Structure 1
Amino acid sequence: MATPNLKTDGLGNERDLCRIYSLLAEMEEMGIHPNVFTYNTLIKTVSSKCKIEEAHELLHKMRKSHCIPNIVTYTILIDALCKKGRVDEALVLLAQMIQDGILPNTISYSALINGLCKVDREDEALGLFVGMRNSHCSPNSITYSTLIHGFIKVKRVNEALVLVCKMIQDGYFPNTYTYTILIDGLFKAGKTEEAYNVFVQMTEFGPFPDQVTFNVVINGLCKYGQMDKAWECFHNMSRKGLQLNVVTYNFLIAGLCQSNRARKAFTLFSQMEERGCLPNVVTYNILICALCRTGHISKAFQMLEIMRIKGLKSDAVTCNTIISGLCKTGDLANARLLLNKILDEGTVPDVEAYNCLINGHCKIGEIDEALKLFKSMEMVGVTPNVVTYTTLIDTLCKEDKLDIALSMLDEMKAKGLVSNDIALSITN
């Protein structure tokens, strides 16, 4: 038996599955009956190639040849089904496994819990977790981490925190990744104090936060205007020898701009280059947005020019920001020039840029210019949205151009962009 099994092992990464079945047939012709190890290897091979039906066929063949599946057999199939999102089939297989007198182990339960969490069935995952503990099967760090991540993903951070406490009570400690996911989830749920406390706990008791954790904390603090704490984290990163990368700087610069400390943001922008960290398009977009928001359009153009000199290509966000700023000041001529220039450079603005310009022209009664822009959108591959259509239809109605308005409404309805209720409100 040793030789055939070794040959089967060698097929673990074999692309041609036909060879697996040929080997099995060859073994049978030689009167060699594959054992559970052989079948498990074959099932694992076909499962890893997402051939679930073939894996089931092998399980059926295994039973037919009076080779009894073991816990490894079932766990391989359960894991493969869960990875494909076929969780209900995996649960059926679990029940069958128990019926056959084989008790699931930690790996089996963890695979199913992971599968359930991936399809947002956290309550069932928790039920399975409780059942696991009741059957005296101890969860491990992977089981806990999987369940914690699942609850955070669906924004049930309180339950995630309870699980972290249970995990620690059971003698397992979350790793840096799990803590980072938890902190991020708490910030997103608006629980800034809890998030920061978890971070402080990491710095005091371990595992020590890494660069990603610090960035998540700085971003969360900045979003909620806690700039003093954000600065403290920024300096702690440097003191602990962690690299301050462009993401770190971008989060802090954005926080400073949002808290009306643009001057300090520009100082930090200058310092990051001096420290060998090169700004990227996102950095420039943050600063350009701050300048446009405060009416410093000429300075925004200067930043755009610096971007070009540095070899950075502006993106749709850059374009939208400056065009929106120009439109707000009524400078539609320069907004159009910028749009054309960006198109010539090969960057396609998104629908928001066009909506700003169309709205600008409509506000001053230039419906013909607005319609020209509308027609040019699809020529460059930009699809009008509900805002585009409703802006134009509203202006057309005010200008008594009802035929064009109704035609545009029909076009809007044909694209599925409007319900009958909205259509009625527009025509009224």
Structure 2
Amino acid sequence: MALLPSTRAITSSAQALDLIPIVNSITSLLQALNPRNPNPKNLSSSPLNRFSPFLDPNLVTIVITKQTNPFHALFFFNWASNPNPNPKNYTHSLRCYEAITNLLLHHSLFYPAINLLKKSQKLSDFFIGKIIKAYGDEGNIKAAIFWFNQAKAIEKDKYLYSFNSILGVLVKANTIDLLRTLFDNVVKEGGFQPDVSSYTILIRGLCKKGMIESAQKVFDEMPCKPNSFTFNTLINGFCKKGDMESARGKVDEAKTVMSEMWLNGVKANAATHLNILKGLCIAGRSAEAIEYFRWMASCNMDLDAKSYIVVVNEYCKLRKIDEAVSLLNGMCGRGISLNVISFNSLFRTLVELNELHRAILLLLQMPQIGCSPNYVSYCTVVCSLCRTEGRMREAGYLVDDMLRNGIGLDATMYGCLLEGYSEAGNEEMAMQVFKEMIGKSYVIGLESFSVFVKMLCSKGMIVKAENFFEDICRTFPAVERDGYRKILDEHQQITQGSIKEHQGEESS
């Protein structure tokens, strides 16, 4: 257990204290006491009494947020509510209540959180809003609505925080009809005026449902001044993925909204421009998207990886590999973290263009330019090599590199390797792959099995083919045995027919 700091090292000012040693000591003690429920019986809190002189809201908040076990935090909070002794007449601040409530709700401990707030008479609009959101995160819409009605009953006309919380829950649950009904009822009741956040959430919900015209109408008629979040929400709605034709009328409307944003004195941020950029790409206006990105860069905007990824993907669609690579180099030059997703788009395009040598080089160079390949990177290139005649040696080299980097093979890649080695007539490697798949309980697909058996039978290894068939049936009893048997019989008949035909030619 960590030792308490010397009393001589402690000043009278709580702000001047180095709280870390005290926090660590309290945490160690709580771990030793190990309370396991909200109200532990026969567990004395007296060992905590030695920390009474150090109590202040800042310390209590830090201790609570440091706990990974919510019951430890609650035990400490309850002790600090009435510490013994209490020379400074310590009382919890609102931040302390917020910290313990957040922790309990995060662990879905609704009853202890609500009970604590009720006992302390802190069950306000602010905390009920947190309860509503927590229930919404769990998908319990009924409980979230119940607590919204509780907020209305408790706070009368002062439940804006709870109102915005229930709106967010309904948007997340995609219950937009209920969202509109609730919103309209609150406006009609006239108890309080929804704020800009309320309208922004409503607009987001309508956009999410594809009701862009309705969202525009709400935006035009909202009685409060929109902020950057409101504008960005509407712009994102115009630019989100939909049918290509409507996406072309909508991006221009988004640009109009952005102009209105400037006229209202609201500064467009990176998220605004990213939405426009995505919209142009979705609408198939690639050239405009690229020009828009160049304009963004020329204005010295704080471009993040997301903006680069959008344009890299667009270059890949246009099969402009050099430009995509150049853009990735530009990201590196600007100190922007490279994203493996962009590289994977490049790999797919290089494979489609049959530029496999270039794909291999890029895959091997990735770590040197600050981005490690992932499973998708390897799988895209390796499986393409397996489908290309004469490239299995390179495929094997990349698999070795992949394993060295701690990335394992799955059934998909094993299947590609099995087919690749079988097509290449390399029975030794094909059988090794087959055995590894069986050993790892990876189901061998009918197509892969067919290619494998064809190779074995063509080399006169009919008995081995039978043995491998039995291995499948023994390892996977639930598999459709008849399908594999049919494939095996067909290849055996073809092989036997070829042998008879060859023997007939020799005898004549």
Please state which band the TM-score falls in when normalised by the shorter chain: 0.7 to 0.9
Shift of 1:363: 1.8
Shift of 1:362: 1.9
Partner Cα separation in structure 1 for residue 101 and residue 324 of structure 2: 56
SS of the aligned residue for 1:190 comes to coil
Partner Cα separation in structure 2 for residue 324 and residue 422 of structure 1: 37
SS of the aligned residue for 2:440 comes to helix
Equivalent position amino acid for 2:74 in 1: I
Q: Which residue of 2 aligns with 1:207?
A: 225
Equivalent position amino acid for 2:270 in 1: V
Q: Which residue of 2 aligns with 1:65?
A: none
Cα contact 1:43–1:59 (8 A) shared by 2: no
Shift of 1:361: 0.8
Instruction: Find out whether 1:86 has 2:109 as its counterpart.
Output: yes
- Aligned partner of 2:260 among 217, 236, 240: 236
The verdict on how the C-alpha distance between 1:227 and 1:111 changes in structure 2, with shifts beyond 3 A counting, is closer
Gaps spanning 5+ residues in structure 1: where? 1-8, 26-37, 63-71, 415-419
Instruction: Find out whether 1:335 has 2:352 as its counterpart.
Output: no
Shift of 1:261: 1.2
SS of the aligned residue for 1:347 comes to coil
- Aligned partner of 1:128 among 137, 141, 147: 147
Q: Which residue of 2 aligns with 1:267?
A: 291
Q: Which residue of 1 aligns with 2:276?
A: 252
Instruction: Find out whether 1:217 has 2:231 as its counterpart.
Output: no
Give a deviation string over 1:79-136, Cα, whole Å, max 9, x none: 76435531033456688x69xxx89665664454344334332211212333554678
Q: Which residue of 2 aligns with 1:347?
A: 371
The verdict on how the C-alpha distance between 1:48 and 1:238 changes in structure 2, with shifts beyond 3 A counting, is same
Paired residues for 1:109-188 under 5 Å: 109-110=128-129, 112-131=131-150, 133=152, 140-168=159-187, 169-188=189-208
Identity within the alignment, %: 20
Greater Cα shift, 79-88 or 287-296:
79-88
Partner Cα separation in structure 1 for residue 341 and residue 75 of structure 2: 46
TM-align CA RMSD: 4.6
Residues matched between the structures, number: 394
Give a deviation string over 1:145-202, Cα, whole Å, max 9, x none: 1222222233333323333223333433333334334433433333333333333334
Instruction: Find out whether 1:408 has 2:437 as its counterpart.
Output: yes
- Aligned partner of 2:209 among 161, 172, 189: 189
Partner Cα separation in structure 2 for residue 24 and residue 281 of structure 1: 49
Cα contact 1:409–1:423 (8 A) shared by 2: no
Instruction: Find out whether 1:21 has 2:49 as its counterpart.
Output: yes
Cα contact 1:221–1:229 (8 A) shared by 2: yes
Partner Cα separation in structure 2 for residue 49 and residue 351 of structure 1: 35
SS of the aligned residue for 1:171 comes to coil
Partner Cα separation in structure 1 for residue 61 and residue 261 of structure 2: 44
Partner Cα separation in structure 2 for residue 278 and residue 79 of structure 1: 33
Greater Cα shift, 173-182 or 145-154:
173-182
Cα contact 1:79–1:108 (8 A) shared by 2: no
Cα contact 1:175–1:207 (8 A) shared by 2: no
Partner Cα separation in structure 1 for residue 59 and residue 393 of structure 2: 69
Partner Cα separation in structure 1 for residue 59 and residue 385 of structure 2: 67
Instruction: Find out whether 1:370 has 2:399 as its counterpart.
Output: no
The verdict on how the C-alpha distance between 1:54 and 1:221 changes in structure 2, with shifts beyond 3 A counting, is same
Give a deviation string over 1:228-282, Cα, whole Å, max 9, x none: 2112122223333333333322222222122221221222223223433254433
The verdict on how the C-alpha distance between 1:109 and 1:348 changes in structure 2, with shifts beyond 3 A counting, is closer
Cα contact 1:132–1:138 (8 A) shared by 2: no
Q: Which residue of 2 aligns with 1:69?
A: none
Shift of 1:333: 0.2
Cα contact 1:285–1:318 (8 A) shared by 2: yes
The verdict on how the C-alpha distance between 1:422 and 1:314 changes in structure 2, with shifts beyond 3 A counting, is farther
The verdict on how the C-alpha distance between 1:129 and 1:314 changes in structure 2, with shifts beyond 3 A counting, is closer
Gaps spanning 5+ residues in structure 2: where? 1-12, 27-46, 68-72, 85-93, 444-474, 485-508
Q: Which residue of 1 aligns with 2:405?
A: 380
SS of the aligned residue for 2:267 comes to coil
The verdict on how the C-alpha distance between 1:301 and 1:134 changes in structure 2, with shifts beyond 3 A counting, is closer
Instruction: Find out whether 1:358 has 2:390 as its counterpart.
Output: no
Partner Cα separation in structure 1 for residue 376 and residue 59 of structure 2: 54
Give a deviation string over 1:29-73, Cα, whole Å, max 9, x none: xxxxxxxxx9x99999986776212344577999xxxxxxxxx9x
Instruction: Find out whether 1:52 has 2:74 as its counterpart.
Output: yes
Partner Cα separation in structure 2 for residue 323 and residue 423 of structure 1: 37
Partner Cα separation in structure 2 for residue 358 and residue 156 of structure 1: 44
**TM-score, normalised on structure 2?**
0.63
Equivalent position amino acid for 1:88 in 2: Y
Cα contact 1:43–1:55 (8 A) shared by 2: yes
Give a deviation string over 1:331-353, Cα, whole Å, max 9, x none: 10011111122222231022222
